[in-house]
Chains A and B, each alone.
Chain A
C-alpha cells in the first residue's frame, strides 16, 4: 500500500486541481433535479403547523375539536400525542417538537394538522383554539443575564460560559503605553437559503419511517425522529433530496419539520408532506447569533499588543441549539491570529424570547472577526502604522503559540495571504491616497481584514466520516458518502478524488445522495469539513479498491503489481507505458474472480484536546488563513456604501476543484457583503420585523462587485492531496474589510453592523415606528401560518 501510494504521488495529477464540471449540475440546469418539494406520492396528506401567538406565554389549554371535525382533516395533534421524547437538541435537549405547556418564541409550534389539501390544512389550523397566559418577554441577552430577568429554562438564562486564559492581563495592561477599549455589536442573520424547508414522510413496511427532505445533518435528524417515535435508528431512514442551499441552516430547522411530518405520518399511516412558506421559514428558523463584544487591548507605541481582555455575549434565543459550540469557536479565535502573551476571554450565551440561534456559515467567527479586525485598524491609527504594517508586525508565523496554548506547527501562511491581498489591490498606495483625498461628495476607501480559522470540528467532538466507492462490472462507479452536498460541491470533489485514484474519467462516476440507512453516521456536513473528512474517506475507499484492481490486473497480465498503474481508463504498465486492459475489462475480470469491488473508506481526524476549566488546549488539528481587501465608495449625502472592488485570498491547502474553490470565495464574499452592509433580521420584544425577502434584503447581482479570488496552496498532510477548508473562511472577513474601508473613506468607524445608510450617515440605527411585516398580519387577524396562496 505504501509503495503503491508512492507511485501515485509521483504521478502528475490528472483530475485534482482541475475545474471539472459538477457531477450534480446537469439535473439542475434541466429542471430534473429533485428538491424536497418536488417529491409527491399518491394519497399524500399535507401537514401544517399552528405556531405561537406570543413570544413568551403559558399554554392554558388547546381545543382541537373544531379543527378535527372539518371535512378533509385526517388528524390534529399536540405535544400530548408524541409517544417518545418531546424535546430534542444536539447539546442540550430542551427544544420542543411541539410546545406543551409553554411557548418561548414566536416560532414555537403548538399543534399539527394533516389534511387532504393545503387549503383544508390551513383552514383547520385557524380553527384550533389556544388559550395563553402571556409572560414577561426578554429580548436582549445582556438584560436576560440580569438576576430579575424572566427565565426561559431552569434557573437562569446564562447557559454557556467559555473562557480562555493565558498569562496575566493585569501585568499586560501595566506594561502597555496605552489602552484601546471598544464595544461592538452584530445582528441576527437569516441564512436565506432560497429553497424553504420541505419534507415527505412515508411510513415504511417494517413499521418504520422514511423521510425524504432537504436535510443538512441527516444523522442528528434521524436520532431525534427515532427518539420521538421510540424507534430504533435502523427503522428511521433519512434520504437527502437535492438541497437548495443551507449555509448551516438546515440542521435543527429540518429536524423539527422532519419530526412533525413523521409524527403525522405515523399517526395517520399515510405519507405526509410538509413545506414551509418563506414566512413560516423566516419566523421559525434559527439565525446567526447577534453578539455584543467588549474588546480591551493594551499596546505599546511600537504597535505590539501586551494584553487582551475580551468579553462577548451571544443571544442564544429560545433554545440552546448549537450555541455551546458556536461560542466555543469564538472563544478559541477571539484574539485573531496575533501574538499576545496576556489574554483573558469570556464568551457567554443567554436565552431570550428571540428566534433561537445556531449554526451559520462562519460559526462564531464573523462576529469576533468584525471586532478583532476593527481593533487592529484602531491600533494602527494610534501608532501611526498602516493596516498592513500593523498586521505584519503582530501576525502569527509558523511555530506561533495561540491564546489557547497551541503551537501552530503547520505552515502558517498568514503573512503570505496578507502580502498577496495587499499586492493584488495596491492596498498601501490607495489607503494613503484615500486618506489624503480632498473632501468630496463621494469618498473612496480601502480596507483590509485577515483571519485564521480552525479546520473541521476540532475539540467540539468526534470527527469521522465514511465514503463508499463501488465499481460496477461495466467500469462505471457509484460513490456515496455521509457528507452531504448542499450546493458547495462535496459530491464533485469526492468524485474527483475517486477518479484521480482510480485513474478514470469523471463521466464514469455516479454520486448518490446521502441516505442514513446506506452509509455510516458521518456526523454533520458542517465546519468546512466536507473535503477534509469526506474527501479523505473517498481517497481511502478508492485506494482500497485500486489495490484490488491492480492485484487482479497482475493476475491477468503476469506483471508485478508494482509495475502496474491505472491511468486514463486503462490498466497500464508503468515501465512500458503500454495499456494492458481497459478499466471496463479490469472491472469485469475483478467480478469474475469474485473479488470485492466495493470499499468503505473511513477517515478519523487527528487528535485535538480541550481543557474547559483552564481554557487551554490543542483546539484544532490544523488552521487555514485568509485575507480580504474591500474598496468602497461612500455617498456622504445619503450614507450609501457601494463595494467597488474586492480581493479575497485564501490558503486552502490544495484546491481539489479550482472553479469550485473560486465559487466558494465569490459566494462567501457576497454573503459577507450582506453581513457588513445590508442584512439585519430585526427582533423587537420578541417580534420579528422581517417576514420575507421584500424586507430582509440579501445582496442582488447589483450589490456584489466583480471579485478577484486568489487561491494559495500550502498543502497540508492532514487533508486529501493536501486540501483543507474553504467554505466558511470566505464568509468571515468581508464585513470588517468593508467597515475598515468606510473608515479609510470617512474617518468614521462603525461599531455596529450592518453599516447601512443610517449608521453610516447618522452613526446610529433608526427604529421603525410603523407596523409592518408580521405585526401587520396580526392586525389583519390572519394567522401567521397562512400562505399567500390562500389569501389570493
Chain B
C-alpha cells in the first residue's frame, strides 16, 4: 500500500508523517505517536473511548482516517493537564468520584471539554446528550454528569 504524507498538529506539536492511507487516527495516536491515553474499545464509533478533539470538536478517532487530519489540529487527553497541574475538568472528575475503571474517562473528558468550550453553563440534559456517545459500564453516569456540571472551568487551554 502506497504511503501518504500528512502535516498535522497533535497536542500543539507539528508533525510530518508518512503513513498508510488506511490507518485510523486512533491507531496513529496510539501506535505511531505513543499517545496511549486515548483508548480503543469498539472500533465502530459506538463506545466513545477513543474520543479526541479535532479542530475543537469531539470525534471518534476510530472513525477518522489519518489522512483526514492533514492540516487539522488534534488534541488528546494528554494535553489537558499542564505538567502536574490538572485541568479543572480533571479535578472535578476526581472530586466527584467520576473515575471508576477509567477506561471511558479520557473520552468522557474530551466530550465534556467540547461541550464546555462551546457552552459554559450546560443543563443536565445538555450534558447527558453531549456524553451520550461515550459508554460507561461502571458508573451509571451520575457522578460524571455532576463532575461536568460543577466543574468551575477556568479559561481552557488549547
Contact = CB atoms under 8 A, between A and B. Distances in A.
A707 B145 CA distance: 12
Interface in A635-672: 659-660, 662-663, 665-671
B58 interface: no
For this complex, into which size category does the number of interface residues on chain A fall? 35 or more
B140 interface: yes
Interface stretch (A88-96, A187-195, A292-300, A586-594): A187-195
B132 interface: yes
A30 B43 contact: no
Contact of B101 (A195, A660, A670, A693): A195
Interface string B102-139: 11111001000000000000001001110111111111
A31 interface: yes
A792 B93 contact: no
A660 B98 CA distance: 10
B141 A704 contact: yes
B41 A670 contact: no
Contacts of B156: none
Contacts of B128: 701-702
Contacts of A706: 124, 142
A766 interface: no
Contacts of B39: 35, 194-195, 244
Contact of A789 (B27, B103, B138, B141): B27
Nearest to A282: B42
A482 B155 CA distance: 43
Contacts of A665: 140
A38 B36 contact: yes
A394 interface: no
B106 to A, nearest CB: 5
A660 B129 CA distance: 25
A243 interface: yes
| A interface secondary structure, majority | loop
Interface string A758-792: 00000000000000000000000000000111001
B90 A30 contact: yes
B93 A29 contact: yes
Contacts of B80: 29-30
B5 interface: no
B94 A788 contact: no
A694 B101 contact: no
Interface string B25-40: 0010010000111111
A362 to B, nearest CB: 14
B142 A704 contact: yes
Contacts of A28: 99, 102, 105
A702 B102 contact: no
A633 interface: no
Contact of B97 (A245, A660, A670): A660
A486 interface: yes
Interface string A1-33: 000000000000000000101101111111111
A700 B142 contact: no
Main secondary structure of the interface of B (DSSP, over half): loop
A69 interface: no
Contact of B136 (A19, A194, A788, A789): A194
A49 to B, nearest CB: 17
Contact of B137 (A278, A663, A671, A694): A671
Nearest to B62: A788
A245 B138 contact: yes
Nearest to B22: A792
A244 B143 contact: no
Contacts of A246: 101
B4 interface: no
B137 A667 contact: yes
A196 B41 CA distance: 6
Nearest to A29: B90
B81 A30 contact: yes
Nearest to B31: A40
A768 B7 CA distance: 47
B12 interface: no
B59 interface: no
A30 B94 contact: no
Nearest to B26: A789
Interface string B83-100: 000100010011111011
Given A244-B103, A666-B143, A26 B43 contact: no
B100 A489 contact: yes
A193 B81 CA distance: 27
B74 interface: no
B102 A488 contact: no
Contacts of A21: 94-95, 97
A24 B93 CA distance: 13
A76 to B, nearest CB: 24
B53 interface: no
A579 interface: no
B111 to A, nearest CB: 10
Contacts of B77: 29-31
B135 A25 contact: no
Nearest to A246: B101
A704 B44 contact: no
A565 interface: no
A542 to B, nearest CB: 23
A660 B96 CA distance: 10
A375 B142 CA distance: 31
Given A30-B78, A487-B100, A488-B100, A792 B65 contact: yes
20 contacts: A28-B99, A30-B80, A30-B90, A31-B37, A37-B36, A194-B41, A194-B136, A243-B101, A245-B100, A245-B137, A278-B41, A278-B44, A486-B101, A659-B96, A663-B143, A667-B140, A670-B139, A671-B137, A692-B44, A700-B135
Given A29-B99, A660-B97, 10 more contacts: A27-B102, A30-B37, A30-B78, A30-B86, A489-B100, A659-B97, A662-B143, A666-B142, A701-B132, A701-B134
Interface of B: 22, 24, 27, 30, 35-44, 46-47, 49, 65, 76-78, 80-81, 86, 90, 93-97, 99-106, 109, 124, 127-129, 131-145
